[in-house]
Amino acid sequence: MRVLGIETSCDETGVAVYDSERGLLAHRLYSQIELHADYGGVVPELASRDHVRKLAPLLREVMEASGTAPGDIDGIAYTSGPGLAGALMVGAVMGRTLAYAWNVPSIGVHHMEGHLLAPLLEENRPEFPFVALLVSGGHTQLLQVDGIGRYTLLGESVDDAAGEAFDKVAKMLGLDYPGGPHVARLALQGNPEAFALPRPMIDRPGLDFSFSGLKTAVRLVIENTPDYPEKTVDICASFEAAIVDTLVRKCERALKQTGMKRLVMAGGVSANVRLRAMLQDLAKRRRAQVFYPSAAFCTDNGAMIAFAGCQRLLAGQGENLAVSVRPRWPMVELPAV
C-alpha cells in the first residue's frame, strides 16, 4: 500500500509518501520559524494561512520526488489532532478532497501516535511491547505500548510539558524563538552543576511530571544573579540537566514498574543530545535497549503521519468524507490495530 501523509498540526508543513513494501519514498518539510519569530511564538491564524500557501507546492514536489502519480496512491493520511484547529483543518480538507478526487480511503491520524511510531521508520526498529517517552512541545507522557493503538498511560505532565518549559526559560533569558533548541545549544557550553535546581516530583511515587516549579526556580536564579547574562550558558546547562535527570529517572521507574527491556523516545525534545546520552547510559545499566528516530523525524513531519496512517489503513480502518478535527484528543482513545 502506498500512502500520502500530510502534517499541518502547528507551525510545520510536512508531506510524505510511504510504501508498505519499499518504505519511505520521499518527504518534504517546510518550517514557519521565520514567520513567527517576530511574535515570539506561533500565531494560529498566520500558521493556518501559511499551510494553505505551502501545502500544494510541497505535495507536487513529493509526488515527483517519489515517482508517484495520483493513480499510484492507495490511501491518504493526515493529522486530525491534537493541534491548532485552523492548521489541522487545512490538512484535513486537503486530505479529504484528494481522497474523494482519487477515490481512495483516507484516515485522520493522531499527531502523537505519529511521533510514537516514528522510530519504526528506522532500520533498527523496536518490537512491541515497549515503554515510550513522548516529549514534544506540548506533551510529556510515559506510555506502555503493547501494539499500535494498545496504549496504557503511565504518567504525564500535570502542568508545563518539558518542551514548554524549555521555551519559557528561553524567553526569560531573552533568546530567539524557537527557544528550546537555543537553550540546548547554549547548555553544551555551560556547567550543569553551576546552579542547584530541583528535580520535580522524583521524591514521590508515580510517573507524572511537573515542570512549572522548575521554571519558577530558573526565574528566581535569574532575578538573584546580578550578572546573569554572563551566566546564561550555566543557567541553560543547569536547567537542561534538571529536565533530563527528571525524565531519565521517571523512565527508569517505568521500566522497573513494567518489567520491560525496551524504551522508545520520540517527539521534538528527543533530539536533545544530553537526553539521548543519559538514556543510553540507563539502557546499559538495566541491560535494556533504547530507540529513537533520526533527527529529521524528531520534529513534526509528514513521514510519521504517512507511516501511522498506513498501518491503520492496512488494518481496514478509515473514515467517511466528513471533515472533522480534534484539537484535544487523548491517545488512549485510539482503537487497536
Give pTM, 2 decimals: 0.96
**Do residues 85 and 149 both lie within one domain?**
no
Task: For 172-207, write each residue's pLDDT tens digit.
Answer: 999 998 999 999 999 999 999 999 999 999 999 999
CATH number of domain containing 221: 3.30.420.40
Q: How many domains does the chain have?
A: 2
The pLDDT tens digits for 126-180 are 999 999 999 988 899 999 999 999 999 999 999 999 999 999 999 999 999 899 9
Place of cell 535546581: 197
Binding-site annotation: residue ranges:
111, 115, 134-138, 167, 180, 272, 300
**172 is a domain residue:** yes
Q: CA 112: distance to chain centroid? A: 6
Structural domain boundaries, residue 282: 127-292
The reported pLDDT for the residue numbered 320 is 84
Whether 111 and 230 map to the same domain: the answer is no
Please state, rounded to an integer, the average pLDDT across all residues of the chain.
96
Binding residue ranges for substrate: 134-138, 167, 180, 272
HSE of 337, CA atoms in CB hemisphere, 13 A? 18
Together in a domain, 198 and 70: no
Binding residues for Fe cation, as ranges, are: 111, 115, 300
Helix locations, the chain, DSSP H: 33-37, 44-65, 85-102, 111-117, 162-172, 179-187, 212-223, 232-258, 273-285, 302-314
Residues 154 and 265 in one domain: yes
Low-confidence stretches of the chain (pLDDT beneath 50): none
Both 269 and 132 in one domain: the answer is yes
- The answer to whether residue 122 sits within a structural domain is no
In a domain, 131, yes or no: yes
Asked whether residue 148 is assigned to any structural domain, the reply reads yes
- 103 and 209 part of one domain: no
Q: What is the pLDDT of residue 129?
A: 98
